Amino acid sequence: MAMNKGSCSLLKSVIIKNELGLHARAAAKIANLAGRAKDKIWLIKDGEKVDASSIIDILSLGCSRGTEITFAADSKADFDLLRNIVIMAENGFGE
Protein backbone atom coordinates (compact mmCIF):
# COMPACT_ATOMS: atom_id res chain seq x y z
CA MET A 1 0.00 0.00 0.00
CA ALA A 2 1.32 3.39 -0.89
CA MET A 3 1.65 6.08 1.70
CA ASN A 4 3.20 9.46 1.85
CA LYS A 5 6.05 9.73 4.22
CA GLY A 6 5.64 13.04 5.96
CA SER A 7 6.88 16.20 4.39
CA CYS A 8 8.65 15.04 1.28
CA SER A 9 6.28 14.30 -1.55
CA LEU A 10 8.97 12.56 -3.55
CA LEU A 11 9.22 9.61 -1.20
CA LYS A 12 6.90 6.63 -1.60
CA SER A 13 6.81 3.28 0.15
CA VAL A 14 5.60 -0.02 -1.18
CA ILE A 15 5.35 -3.52 0.23
CA ILE A 16 6.66 -6.14 -2.16
CA LYS A 17 3.89 -8.62 -2.78
CA ASN A 18 5.38 -10.82 -5.48
CA GLU A 19 5.78 -14.37 -4.30
CA LEU A 20 9.39 -14.54 -5.39
CA GLY A 21 10.18 -11.10 -4.06
CA LEU A 22 11.72 -8.35 -6.11
CA HIS A 23 13.29 -10.66 -8.69
CA ALA A 24 15.30 -10.02 -11.84
CA ARG A 25 12.42 -9.36 -14.21
CA ALA A 26 10.69 -7.01 -11.78
CA ALA A 27 13.99 -5.26 -11.13
CA ALA A 28 14.49 -4.89 -14.88
CA LYS A 29 11.11 -3.18 -15.12
CA ILE A 30 12.00 -0.71 -12.37
CA ALA A 31 15.45 -0.05 -13.84
CA ASN A 32 13.95 0.54 -17.24
CA LEU A 33 11.64 3.28 -15.93
CA ALA A 34 14.16 4.75 -13.52
CA GLY A 35 16.67 4.92 -16.36
CA ARG A 36 14.47 7.51 -18.06
CA ALA A 37 14.55 9.91 -15.09
CA LYS A 38 16.07 13.36 -15.48
CA ASP A 39 17.79 13.01 -12.15
CA LYS A 40 18.43 10.05 -9.86
CA ILE A 41 15.69 7.77 -8.57
CA TRP A 42 16.62 5.79 -5.49
CA LEU A 43 15.39 2.60 -3.95
CA ILE A 44 15.74 2.39 -0.18
CA LYS A 45 15.48 -0.65 2.04
CA ASP A 46 16.29 -0.59 5.75
CA GLY A 47 18.26 2.58 5.29
CA GLU A 48 20.32 1.17 2.43
CA LYS A 49 19.99 3.29 -0.66
CA VAL A 50 20.71 2.12 -4.20
CA ASP A 51 20.38 3.48 -7.71
CA ALA A 52 17.00 2.30 -9.03
CA SER A 53 18.24 2.36 -12.61
CA SER A 54 20.53 -0.61 -11.98
CA ILE A 55 19.00 -4.08 -11.91
CA ILE A 56 22.00 -5.45 -10.12
CA ASP A 57 21.88 -2.77 -7.45
CA ILE A 58 18.21 -3.49 -6.87
CA LEU A 59 18.77 -7.23 -6.74
CA SER A 60 21.62 -6.84 -4.31
CA LEU A 61 19.17 -5.56 -1.68
CA GLY A 62 17.46 -8.97 -1.66
CA CYS A 63 13.89 -7.70 -1.24
CA SER A 64 11.82 -10.76 -0.47
CA ARG A 65 8.04 -10.84 -0.31
CA GLY A 66 6.67 -8.56 2.39
CA THR A 67 9.68 -6.24 2.42
CA GLU A 68 8.90 -2.54 2.64
CA ILE A 69 10.87 -0.54 0.14
CA THR A 70 10.86 3.18 -0.51
CA PHE A 71 11.38 4.98 -3.78
CA ALA A 72 12.81 8.49 -3.73
CA ALA A 73 13.40 10.99 -6.50
CA ASP A 74 15.99 13.76 -6.41
CA SER A 75 14.09 15.98 -8.77
CA LYS A 76 10.46 17.12 -8.84
CA ALA A 77 10.54 16.63 -12.60
CA ASP A 78 10.65 12.88 -12.02
CA PHE A 79 7.57 12.75 -9.82
CA ASP A 80 5.31 11.20 -12.47
CA LEU A 81 7.89 8.59 -13.23
CA LEU A 82 8.23 7.78 -9.54
CA ARG A 83 4.49 7.42 -9.25
CA ASN A 84 4.41 5.04 -12.20
CA ILE A 85 7.10 2.90 -10.64
CA VAL A 86 5.18 2.77 -7.38
CA ILE A 87 1.92 1.85 -9.13
CA MET A 88 3.74 -0.89 -10.99
CA ALA A 89 5.19 -2.25 -7.75
CA GLU A 90 1.80 -2.10 -6.02
CA ASN A 91 0.38 -4.17 -8.83
CA GLY A 92 3.01 -6.82 -8.35
CA PHE A 93 4.83 -5.86 -11.57
CA GLY A 94 2.02 -7.21 -13.69
CA GLU A 95 2.46 -10.81 -12.59
Partner 1 sequence: MDLGNNFNMPDNETNEEIKLNGVGASPGICIGKAYLVDKEGVEVVEKYFISGKNLDGEIKRFKAAVKNAVNELRSIIENVPDEVRRHTGILETHIALLKDKMLYDKTIETIKKERVNAEWALKKVVDDIKVMFQNISDSYLKERSDDITHVSDRIIKFLIGSEDVNIGEIDKRVILVAKDLSPADASQIQLDKIMGFITDRGGKASHTSIIARTLEVPAVLGVGNATKTINNDDTIIIDGTTGVVIIHPSGQTLGEYKKLKTRHEEHKAYLSRGSHLKAETLDGLSLQIMGNIELPEEVVSVLDHGGDGIGLYRTEFQYLTRSDFPGEDELFDKYKDVVEVMGPRPVTIRTLDINGDKAISSSNGSEEANPALGLRAIRYCLKRPDIFRTQLRAILRAAAFGNVRILIPMISSLDEIRDTKKLLNEVADSLEKEGKAYNKNIEFGIMIEVPSAVIMADVMAQETDFFSIGTNDLIQYTLAIDRGNREVAHLYHPFHPAILRMIKHVTDVGKEKGIKVFMCGEMAGDPFNVPVLLGLGIDELSMNPQSIPAVKNMIRSLKVEDARHFIKEALKQTTTMDVIKLVEASFGEMFGK
Q: Which of 2, 8, 38, 56 binds partner 1 (CB under 8 A)?
A: 56
- State yes or no: residue 82 binds partner 1 (CB under 8 A): no
| Other Cβ atoms closer than 10 A to 38 | 12
Q: Exactly one of 23, 45, 49, 83 is catalytic; name it.
A: 23
Closest C-alpha among 26, 77, 76 to residue 52: 26
- State yes or no: residue 51 binds partner 1 (CB under 8 A): yes
Q: What share of the chain is helix, strand, coil (3-state, %, to 5)?
A: 35, 25, 40
- How far the first Cα of the chain sits from its last, in Å, is 17
29 touches 52 (CB < 8 A): no
CB of 23 to partner 1, least distance (A): 6
CB of 28 to partner 1, least distance (A): 4
Q: In the complex with partner 1, which residue's Cβ is closer, 12 or 53?
A: 53
Q: Which stretch binds partner 1 (CB under 8 A): 3-11, 55-63, 68-76, 78-86?
A: 55-63
